[in-house]
Amino acid sequence: MARAPGTTKRRRRRRKALPWPSRPAASSATGLDFYGYIKLINFVRLKKPTGAYLSSLRSPLPWEGEEYLKPELEDDLLLQFDIEDLCEPVKVLPSNGLSDPMVLLERLKHTEHRARAAEAALARAQDDLQKMKQFAQDFVMSTDVRSSSSRGAIADLQEDEDGVYFSSYGHYGIHEEMLKDKVRTESYRDFIYQNPHIFKDKVVLDVGCGTGILSMFAAKAGAKKVIGVDQSEIIYQAMDIIRLNKLEKIITLVKGRIEEVDLPLEKVDVIISEWMGYFLLFESMLDSVIYAKDKYLAEGGSVYPDLCTISLVAVGDMSKHVDKLLFWEDVYGFDMSCMKKAVIPEAVVEVLDPNTVISAASVIKHIDCNSASTPDLEFSSDFTLSITMSTQCTAIAGYFDVFFEKNCHNKVLFSTGPQCTKTHWKQTIFLLEKPIPVEAGEALRGKITVRKNRKDPRSLFITLSVKDTQQAYSLQ
């Protein structure tokens, strides 16, 4: 907010000027020097002279005594302004070295009026600023408080995050990428087509149906009824796709969050969903599947995929370490090593060169989708990585495996690990600031903690401890 003219900043400068021992030169505009102004103002405050009295004055002037340097009024507004800046020049009367007294008094009154107006404007501005600060404080506090009876401000913020999330799935591009991921799509297809007894004459719920591909697989496998639910705008294209394939009598699509929509039935026999994100749990869509399971799954029903695991491996890739971290130590001759503090905490999602894997895998988390609850999705786990070669460990990488097993005549599984066919999930890399020397046969021990970001529950906070080092990472 702009400062009102002639207020706080000038006030400090003028007060420091008062005790100067020498007098500035006389003003060409009024015939008074700097201290003459001060004495005149204090004289007027004290004596309250009339214009006629001032007109009759001759040298010596009655306010020339040093006692008039002391302000008559505390925080006198007229002593806080540059008088000459505020008053236009007036004609000088040589008889007594003083301008027309009536004009000068009018100028002083005008100046005081402007000063008081400026002071009032400043007071209003300060009041507005205080109100804005209080509003901001109340708003921030409200976002940190959860209410058991309502969603409150933090829920509104989460809904905004959800809006961005669902909006990203409204564009066809991300669905094209997923459909072209053969490991992903063909695994679901094979599970459904090779186990038709699970779907024959059953009611199926597809959570996060997207383009409807899983719903159509289920319908083709003999499902009696399929309900697909999705919040993103892609569901309108899915409706066209369903009609184009003449499956509208079997498949019903519902737009909205599974937590909020009203389904056209109370219970379903099977829940299918492709909910997995980076490092399995990124995006937190499993929360929605668990909600659907608890509310809609009939007794004896099943959720697919039914089992998932998260695994870690050690990575030894000095060239990547140099490229990502040592690069900052000499950037065109400048030390930018402080940038490492921004680079290291961000988990990197990329395809890992399998030749850089230097340990056997260690499973850190098992999830049974038929029994899991949302608290299970935040966890800590100790791990041991059996090192396979003597080198430098530069990172820890995570990936997940997915299993379709319950009641299956033909079990199906797929992996997103670095030794397997590439998927759009890739691997999640946690860079170590300093490489750790390891020997073949060594057991590299550590601990990992996975938590949701409270401000954005679809993203993750991950803390990784390896030997004597600990580092926090975000996946967002």
Q: Does residue 86 share a domain with residue 32?
A: yes
In this prediction, residues 257-279 reach a mean pLDDT of 94
Q: How confident is the model at residue 123 (pLDDT cuts 50, 70, 90)?
A: confident
pLDDT > 90 in the chain, percent: 55
In this prediction, residues 188-199 reach a mean pLDDT of 98
Establish if 2 belongs to a structural domain.
Answer: no
Which one of 230, 253, 274 terminates a domain? 274
pLDDT of residue 41: 77
Domain count, the chain: 3
In this prediction, residues 396-405 reach a mean pLDDT of 98
pTM above 0.95, yes or no: no
In this prediction, residues 56-84 reach a mean pLDDT of 69
In this prediction, residues 165-184 reach a mean pLDDT of 69
pLDDT of residue 78: 63
User: Is residue 329 predicted with pLDDT exceeding 50?
Assistant: yes
Q: Does residue 418 share a domain with residue 321?
A: yes
Establish if 300 belongs to a structural domain.
Answer: no
Q: Considering 274, 405, 433, 439, which one is annotated as catalytic?
A: 274
pLDDT of residue 134: 62
pLDDT of residue 92: 41
User: Is residue 157 predicted with pLDDT exceeding 90?
Assistant: no
User: Is residue 145 predicted with pLDDT exceeding 70?
Assistant: no
Establish if 134 belongs to a structural domain.
Answer: no
Parallel, antiparallel, or unpaired for β 251-255 and 225-230? parallel
In this prediction, residues 210-237 reach a mean pLDDT of 95
Q: Report yes or no: 328 and 336 within 8 Å, Cβ to Cβ.
A: yes
Which one of 99, 119, 139 terminates a domain? 119
Active site residue 274: yes
CATH classification of the domain holding 262:
3.40.50.150
In this prediction, residues 126-150 reach a mean pLDDT of 53
Q: Does residue 222 share a domain with residue 157?
A: yes
Which one of 220, 252, 274 terminates a domain? 274
∠ CA 143-148-152, nearest 5°, is 30
Q: Does residue 369 share a domain with residue 242?
A: no
| 22 or 476: which leads in pLDDT | 476
pLDDT > 70 in the chain, percent: 71
Q: Does residue 471 share a domain with residue 359?
A: yes
In this structure, of 37-46, 289-298, 329-338, the range with the lowest mean pLDDT score is 37-46
Q: Does residue 160 share a domain with residue 103?
A: no
Q: How confident is the model at residue 190 (pLDDT cuts 50, 70, 90)?
A: very high
User: Is residue 270 predicted with pLDDT exceeding 60?
Assistant: yes
Q: How confident is the model at residue 374 (pLDDT cuts 50, 70, 90)?
A: very high
Q: How confident is the model at residue 87 (pLDDT cuts 50, 70, 90)?
A: very low
Q: Which domain holds residue 238?
A: 149-274
Q: Does residue 340 share a domain with residue 254?
A: no
Q: How confident is the model at residue 58 (pLDDT cuts 50, 70, 90)?
A: low
Q: Does residue 326 share a domain with residue 434?
A: yes
| 102 or 398: which leads in pLDDT | 398
| 252 or 160: which leads in pLDDT | 252
pLDDT of residue 457: 73
Establish if 410 belongs to a structural domain.
Answer: yes
Establish if 429 belongs to a structural domain.
Answer: yes
Q: Please write the tens of the pLDDT for every residue from 456-473.
A: 877 899 999 998 899 999
In this structure, of 64-68, 75-79, 94-98, 306-310, the range with the lowest mean pLDDT score is 94-98
User: Is residue 119 predicted with pLDDT exceeding 80?
Assistant: no
In this structure, of 22-36, 43-57, 136-150, the range with the lowest mean pLDDT score is 136-150
Q: Does residue 153 share a domain with residue 59?
A: no
| 30 or 345: which leads in pLDDT | 345
User: Is residue 436 predicted with pLDDT exceeding 60?
Assistant: yes
Establish if 282 belongs to a structural domain.
Answer: no
Across all residues in the chain, what is the average pLDDT?
A: 81
Establish if 295 belongs to a structural domain.
Answer: no
Q: Report yes or no: 387 and 440 within 8 Å, Cβ to Cβ.
A: yes
CATH classification of the domain holding 338:
2.70.160.11
Q: Does residue 59 share a domain with residue 171?
A: no
pLDDT of residue 77: 60
In this prediction, residues 224-233 reach a mean pLDDT of 94
Q: Does residue 323 share a domain with residue 208?
A: no
In this prediction, residues 216-228 reach a mean pLDDT of 97
Establish if 3 belongs to a structural domain.
Answer: no
Q: Does residue 179 share a domain with residue 61?
A: no
Q: Considering 283, 329, 350, 405, which one is annotated as catalytic?
A: 283
